[in-house]
């Protein structure tokens, strides 16, 4: 996204500009072997635990605690995508790249009773 895009993944600096693809690669480097060995079921349980921690932080945490929990949830979600070999950049682009999957608009106009 900026001049830092050519930085090798896995070497975050002070305020690193990190693309989604960089992040998935970084998470792969850090956790793939462990998480692949643990398996998707066990790793999914960790994701759910982190989602619980995010819920607590949203209820009574500080802004910093909330920020950390969002990062954790994203990391666990991403590591599971690695274990099942899903490219998140491609997945997000395919599903949301041209707007709401329900109505096709960039600002969703789906009826309120619908999920999006
Ligand atoms: Zn919509």
Give the tens place of pLDDT for each residue, 8-35.
Answer: 555 555 677 899 999 999 999 999 999 9
SS3 per residue for 42-54:
HHHHHHHHHHHHH
Ligand 1 center to residue 101 CA distance, Å?
A: 6
- DSSP letter for 8, please: P
Ligand 1 center to residue 116 CA distance, Å?
A: 6
pTM of this structure: 0.80
Ligand 1 center to residue 94 CA distance, Å?
A: 15
Question: Could you give the angle at which helices 20-38 and 63-83 cross, rounded to 10 degrees?
Answer: 70
Tens digits of residue pLDDT in 65-109: 999 999 999 999 999 999 999 999 999 999 999 999 999 999 999
Ligand 1 center to residue 111 CA distance, Å?
A: 8
Ligand 1 center to residue 90 CA distance, Å?
A: 20
Give the pLDDT confidence score for residue 113 in this predicted structure. 83
Band the pLDDT of 6: cuts 50, 70, 90. Answer: low
Task: Quote the mean pLDDT of the chain.
Answer: 89
């Amino acid at each position: 996204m900026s001049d830092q895009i050519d930085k090798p993944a896995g070497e975050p600096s002070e305020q690193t500009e990190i693309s989604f693809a960089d992040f998935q690669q970084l998470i792969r480097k850090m956790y793939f072997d462990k998480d692949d060995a643990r398996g998707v079921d066990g790793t999914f349980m960790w994701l759910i635990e982190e989602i619980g921690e995010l819920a607590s932080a949203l209820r009574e945490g500080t802004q910093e605690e909330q920020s950390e929990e969002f990062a954790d949830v994203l990391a666990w979600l991403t590591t599971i995508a690695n274990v099942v070999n899903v490219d998140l950049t491609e997945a997000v682009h395919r599903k949301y790249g041209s707007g709401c999957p329900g109505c096709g608009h960039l600002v969703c106009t789906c009826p309120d009773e619908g999920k999006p």
